Amino acid sequence: MTLLIVTTTGLCNLRCSYCGGSFPPHLVPPREQYELDDLVSLAEGLDADIAFYGGEPLMNPKLIMDVMDALGPERRYIVQTNGTLFDNLPEKYWLRFDAILLSIDGRREVNDQYRGRGNYDTVLMTAKRLRKLGYRGDLIARMAVWDRSDIFEEVTHLLGLGLFDHVHWQLNVIWTEPWDFRGWAENSYLPGIRRLVSLWMERMREGEVLGIVPFLGIAKVALFGEWRSPPCGAGSETFTLLPDGRIVACPIAVESRWAVVGDIKSGIVRRVEIGEPCTSCSHFKYCGGRCLYTYMERYWGEEGFRDVCFVTKATIDEVLSRVDEIRSLVERGVIRREEIYYPPYDNTTEIIP
Ligand code: SF4
Ligand code: SF4
C-alpha cells in the first residue's frame, strides 16, 4: 500500500541541535497552497495511508483535521510530532491515529541537550496524556542518535518507562557537518548494539518481545522475506506532498531536483530508485540502500558513506546471527509470530538507523 506523507507546514516551534528548526518558507511554506479536494483526489487515487509530517505538523492542525474528516476511517493515519503541542489537536483526532511517533532522544539529560531544556518532561506528559485518554494505537518513541547518545542506555530507558510500544532511532549522519562518527560507532554505538541485541534475545527467551524497531525490521526480512529498497519506501512506495503542491520522494529532500516525482494535479509521474553500489552489496537484501537521501546526496563523501555502511552491516549481522534462535522461539510458541512481524504496515519507521 502506498503511504502519502503530508507535510502540513514547514514551521517548527523547536530548534533541535541536529535540525535547526523551520524550513525556509520559500522551500516549504507554512500553510498548504492547494485545495483540500486535490489532496483528497490524490490520496484516493493512490489508495494511500496518510502520515502527517512537518516542520511540526501540529503547527497546522486544521489541515490534519480536514484531511481525516474528508478521507474518513477507511485508511490508516500516522503522525510524527515533537509532542509539545498536544492541545492543538482535539482528543478525538489523537485517538484516530494508528501510530503516533513522538520525538524523544532518550534520558532527560541527553534529550534536553539536543532538544532544549524541559523538552523531556513535556514529551512524556504528552505520552501520559495519550495513555490516560485510552490511546490504543502504536505509540513509538522516535529518537535521533548522536555523539552524546549511549544507544543501550537511551533505548532501555525509553522502553523502561512503560509508555511506548516501540522505540525507533535514526543516526545523525546526514543532517549536520561531519563528526567523529566512525570513532563513536566503534567505541560506543556498536558495543551498545551488541548489548541491546543480547538483552532483546534474553527477554525473548522469557516470552517478551521488546519493541526495538530496527531489530524487528531486520528480523522481519529474514523470517518473512518481505523487504523493499529503500526500507523507508521513499520514492518507490512512500511519497511526500509538500505544502506548495510538489510531490517529492523523501520528506527532507525539499530542494533537490532528483527528488521531485510529481505534483498534486498530475500525481506521481516517476519513481526514484537506489542503484550501485547498493544493488551489488552483500547486505542489500536487508539494508535496501538504507536512505535514499543519503544515497543521492552523499554529503559526507564516499568515505563517510562507507563508514555508515560499516555500521549498517555490523548492525544487520548482529541481528541475523540470532535469527535461527528467533525462528525456533516462534516455532515453539515462546513468542508469537505477529510480535516479530513489524512494522505490520508502513508507519514511517525507516528500519535501518
Ligand atoms: S550497506 Fe551501504 S552499500 Fe550496502 S546496501 Fe546498505 S547503503 Fe548500500
Ligand atoms: S530514511 Fe532517508 S530517504 Fe527515507 S525518509 Fe528518511 S531521509 Fe528520506
Q: pLDDT confidence of 20, banded at 50, 70, 90?
A: confident
Average pLDDT over every residue of 126-153: 98
Q: Are 227 and 211 in contact (CB under 8 A)?
A: no
| Annotated domain spans of the chain | 3-340
State the Cα angle at 164 between 161 and 170, rounded to 5°: 105
Please give the single-letter amino acid code of residue 83.
G
pLDDT, averaged across the chain: 97
**Mean of the pLDDT values across residues 51-77?**
97
Assigned C-alpha cell, 9 = 507546514
Ligand 1 test: best mutation among 171, 284, 308, most atoms within 8 Å of CB?
A: 284
Q: Give residue for cell 510524527.
A: 80
Instruction: Please provide residue 119's backbone torsions phi and psi, each rounded to the nearest 5 degrees.
Output: -65, -40
Outline where 47-189 has alpha helix (H).
61-71, 91-94, 108-115, 119-133, 151-160, 181-184
- What is the reported pLDDT for 266? 97
How high is the pLDDT of residue 3? 98
Confidence band, pLDDT 50/70/90 cuts, at residue 320:
very high
pLDDT of residue 1: 86
Is the distance from the beta carbon of residue 316 to the nearest atom of ligand 2 less than 6 Å? no
145 has which bridge partners? Answer: 171
- Alpha-carbon distance of 309 to 305, in angstroms, equals 6
144 CA from centroid of ligand 2 (Å): 13
Q: Summarize the chain as % helix, strand, coil (round to 5).
A: 45, 15, 40
Q: Is the CB of 312 under 6 A from ligand 1?
A: yes
Whether 352 contacts 309, CB under 8 Å: no
* Cβ–ligand 1 contact at 34 (below 6 Å): no
Assess whether the C-beta atom of 293 lies below 6 angstroms from ligand 2.
yes
286 lines ligand 1 (CB under 6 A): no
Over residues 221-248, the mean pLDDT reads 97
What radius of gyration do the chain's Cα atoms show? 19
Ligand nearest to the CA of residue 144, numbered in listed order: 2
Ligand index nearest the alpha carbon of residue 281: 1
Biggest CA–CA distance in the chain, Å, is: 57
Measure the CA–CA gap between 64 and 232, rounded to whole angstroms.
Answer: 22
Q: What is the pLDDT of residues 90-135, one digit of tens each?
A: 999 999 999 999 999 999 999 999 999 999 999 999 999 999 999 9
Model confidence at 258, pLDDT cuts 50, 70, 90, reads very high
Rounded CA separation 258/235 (Å):
10
Assess whether the C-beta atom of 252 lies below 6 angstroms from ligand 2: yes
Distance 350 CA to ligand 2 centre (A): 7
Is the preceding omega at residue 251 within 30 degrees of 0, hence cis?
no
Instruction: Tell which atom from ligand 2 comes closest to the C-alpha of 350.
Output: 1
Q: Is the CB of 287 under 6 A from ligand 2?
A: no
**Nearest CA-CA partner of 149 in 139, 136, 160, 158:** 158
Cα 311 to ligand 1 centre (Å): 10
Q: Is 250 in the pocket of ligand 2 (CB under 6 A)?
A: yes
Cell 497546522 maps to which residue?
60
Q: Is the CB of 304 under 6 A from ligand 1?
A: no
- Using one digit for the tens of pLDDT, what is the confidence trace for 168-222? 999 999 778 899 999 999 999 999 999 999 999 999 999 999 999 999 999 999 9
Q: Whose CA is nearest to atom 1 of ligand 2?
A: 291
Low-confidence winner among 9-23, 128-142, 202-216, 265-279 (lowest mean pLDDT): 9-23
311 ligand 2 Cβ < 6 A:
no
Q: Which ligand is nearest to the CA of 258?
A: 2
Cα 234 to ligand 2 centre (Å): 6
Residue 218's alpha-carbon distances to 224, 330, 351, in angstroms, are: 10, 16, 7
* C-alpha–C-alpha distance, residues 309 and 283, integer Å: 9
278-296: per-residue pLDDT in tens?
Answer: 999 999 999 999 999 999 9
Q: Return the CATH class of domain 3-340.
A: alpha beta
pLDDT given at position 174? 74
Pairing of strands 166-171, 246-248: unpaired
Nearest CA to ligand 2 atom 7: 293
| Whether residue 278 has its Cβ less than 6 Å from ligand 1 | yes
CA gap 298, 291 in Å, rounded: 11
The DSSP result for 282-305, as a single string, is: TTHHHHTTS-HHHHHH-TTHHHHH
pTM of the model: 0.97
User: Is any atom of ligand 1 closer than 6 Å to the C-beta of 258?
Assistant: no
From the CB of 232, is ligand 2 less than 6 Å away?
yes
99 lines ligand 2 (CB under 6 A): no
pLDDT for the residue numbered 343: 98
Phi, psi of 235 (to 5 degrees): 85, -10
pLDDT at 84 over 80: yes
Specify the pLDDT at position 105: 98
Closest among 6, 3, 44 to 246, alpha carbons compared: 6
